[in-house]
Amino acid sequence: MIKVGITGSKGFVGYHLYQTLALRKDEFSLIEFDRSFFDDNQTLDAFVSSCDVIVHLAALNRHNDPQLIYETNTLLVKSLVASLKRTASKAHLIISSSTQEERDNLYGKSKKEGRLLLSEWANQCGGSLSGLVIPNVFGPFGHPNYNSVIATFCHQIARDETPKIDVDGELKLIYVGELVEEILNVICNNDNTHELIIPCTAEAKVSEILSLLQYFRKSYQDDREIPVLVNDFEHKLFNTYRCYMDLANYFPKKFVQHADNRGAFVEIARQGIPGQTSFSTTLPGITRGNHFHTRKIERFAVIKGKALIQLRRIGTDEVHDFYLDGDEPAYVDMPIWHTHNIKNIGEDILYTIFWINEPFDSNDPDTYFEIV
C-alpha cells in the first residue's frame, strides 16, 4: 500500500488525481492535506512524515500581481523542502511544472525554480524527485478565467456568453485524465527523473477549439443531438464541455412526442458516434444504478411511469434530484464523475431506455459503484 499525499488536492488536477487514487484503494492510501498545513510547521511535518509519495500541485496560477504568483509558488516549495529536511523524509516527490518554464514570465520562472529547489534537495539528501514539465491541461471542473482557455470558453458558451480570442495560438494539450495516468506511472515506477517532459496528446489552435465548442453547443444543447466526434481529442473535449453546463436548469429535457391512433413515437437520441441503446423495466420502489463513469456518455430516458433520477458529483455533497413522468417523456444525461441512480417512485412498472456511447466491456467497464 503506497501512502500518497497531494498538496493542492482541491485544485483542478489535484481533484482528478485524488478521485482516481480513491478508486484504487487496494493500491493507494490517501493522506489528507489542507492548504493551511503550510502555515504550521508541526502540521506540515506530520503530513510529510506520513507520506511515501508527495505530489506537489499547490500553486497560484493567475493573479493581477505576477510578483505575488512568483513569491507564493516559490515560498510553498521552500516550505515543503524545509519540512522534508526537518523530518529527514525519503518520500518520492512529484512536482508539476509547466512548459512555461522557458517563457519570460514570473509564473514560468516560479515553476522552474520550484522544480530546481526540489532537485537540489533530492541530490543533497538522497531523495527521489520526478519533475514533470506539463503542457496545457484541460478537462472537467477547471476554473474559468484561471486554469485554461478551454475552461473559460466552455463556461461562457454553455451560458450564452460571447468568448473572445486574445491570441490565436497553437496549443499543446493533454487531457487531465491522461495526465493523471502519467502521474500514476511515475508513482508506480518510482521514477527519479528531475526533468521529465510530459508529451502533449493533442494540438489545436484556439480558434479551432472555440469552433468545436460552439458546434457542441449547437448540436447538443440547441439541436439536442449527440455530436459527431471524429477523434479521441473531440471525445474528451465534448465530455469536458458537458461538465460546464448548468445541469439544474437544463435537465430534464422533454422529448417531442408524435401520437396518432396507433400510439406514440418518441425519438430517444440522434447520434454521430457508435453506442448502445437498451430498455428496462423497474418495479415500484426499486432503485437502479448508484455508480459513475469517467469517460462514458450516457442518457436515461423515461417513457412510462414515474422516476426520480439523482446525480452527485464525486467528492461533493450536493445532490441534483430530477423527477420524470412518462406522460411527458423526458431524459437526463449523466456527466462523467457524477454518481447517478434511477428509482421507480410510482405505483406501476417504470419503463426506461438507456443509451450509452460504448457497449459494456467486463474487462474495461468504466463503472464504479458509489451511492448517490
Q: What is the pLDDT of residue 100?
A: 84
Q: What is the largest CA-CA distance in the chain?
A: 83
pLDDT over 80 (residue 272): no
- Amino acid of residue 278: S
Q: What is the pLDDT of residue 260?
A: 81
CATH code for the part of the protein at 247-369? 2.60.120.10
Q: What angle do CA 253, 255, 261 make, to 5 degrees?
A: 155
pLDDT over 80 (residue 278): yes
Mean predicted confidence (pLDDT) in 273-298:
91
Of all residues in the chain, the percent with pLDDT exceeding 90 is 83
CB of 161 closer than 8 Å to CB of 152:
no
Confidence of residue 284 (pLDDT cuts 50, 70, 90): very high
Can you tell me the distance from the alpha carbon of 13 to that of 93, in angstroms, rounded to the nearest whole number? Answer: 16
93 φ/ψ angles, rounded to the nearest 5 degrees: -95, 135
CB of 9 closer than 8 Å to CB of 18:
yes
Query: How many helices, marked H, and strands, marked E, lie in the chain?
Result: 9, 23
Q: Cβ-count burial of 273 within 10 angstroms (0-12 exposed, 13-18 middle, 19+ buried)?
A: middle
Q: What are the residue boundaries of the structural domains of the chain, listed by start?
A: 2-138+173-201, 247-369
Q: What is the pLDDT of residue 99?
A: 86
pLDDT over 80 (residue 187): yes
pLDDT over 90 (residue 146): no
Residue 168: how many other CB atoms lie within 10 Å: 10
CATH superfamily of domain region 2-138+173-201: NAD(P)-binding Rossmann-like Domain (3.40.50.720)
Confidence of residue 29 (pLDDT cuts 50, 70, 90): very high
Category of 263 on φ-ψ map: left (φ > 0), alpha (ψ -120 to 50) or beta: left
Residue 287: how many other CB atoms lie within 10 Å: 16
- β-pairing, 53-56 vs 2-7, is parallel
Can you tell me the distance from the alpha carbon of 2 to that of 175, in angstroms, rounded to the nearest whole number? Answer: 25
Q: What is the pLDDT of residue 266?
A: 82
**C-alpha cell at position 258:** 408524435
Q: What is the pLDDT of residue 107?
A: 85
- The DSSP 8-state label assigned to residue 240 in this structure reads H
CB of 152 closer than 8 Å to CB of 189:
no
Give buried/exposed letters for 293-315 (b at 16+ CB in 10 A, else e).
bbebbbbbbbbbbbbbbbbbbbe
Q: Per residue in 109-130, pLDDT tens?
A: 899 999 999 999 999 999 999 9
CA atoms within 13 A on the CB side of 169: 8
**Which is more confidently placed, 202 or 60?**
202
pLDDT over 80 (residue 292): yes
Q: Which residues pair with 174 in a beta bridge?
A: 137
Q: Per residue in 49-102, pLDDT tens?
A: 999 999 999 988 878 888 998 998 999 999 999 999 999 999 999 999 988 888
CB of 131 closer than 8 Å to CB of 193:
yes
Q: What is the pLDDT of residue 61?
A: 82
CB of 357 closer than 8 Å to CB of 293:
no
Confidence of residue 273 (pLDDT cuts 50, 70, 90): confident
Q: What is the pLDDT of residue 58?
A: 94
**C-alpha cell at position 298:** 450516457
Confidence of residue 251 (pLDDT cuts 50, 70, 90): very high
Single out the residue of 308, 273, 276, 306 nearest to residue 290, CA to CA: 308
296 φ/ψ angles, rounded to the nearest 5 degrees: -75, 150
What's the N-to-C CA distance of the chain in angstroms? 28
Mean predicted confidence (pLDDT) in 241-270:
88
Can you tell me the distance from the alpha carbon of 176 to that of 240, in angstroms, rounded to the nearest whole number? Answer: 10
Can you tell me the distance from the alpha carbon of 339 to that of 292, in angstroms, rounded to the nearest whole number? Answer: 4
Q: Is the pTM of this model over 0.75?
A: yes
Of all residues in the chain, the percent with pLDDT exceeding 70 is 100
Give the distance, in angstroms, between the CA of residue 20 and the centroid of all CA atoms in the same chain: 10
CA atoms within 13 A on the CB side of 267: 8
CA atoms within 13 A on the CB side of 123: 8
| Mean pLDDT score of the chain | 94
**C-alpha cell at position 209:** 477549439
Q: What is the pLDDT of residue 360?
A: 81
pLDDT over 90 (residue 180): yes
pLDDT over 80 (residue 264): no
pLDDT over 90 (residue 207): yes
Q: What is the pLDDT of residue 279?
A: 86
Mean predicted confidence (pLDDT) in 284-310:
96
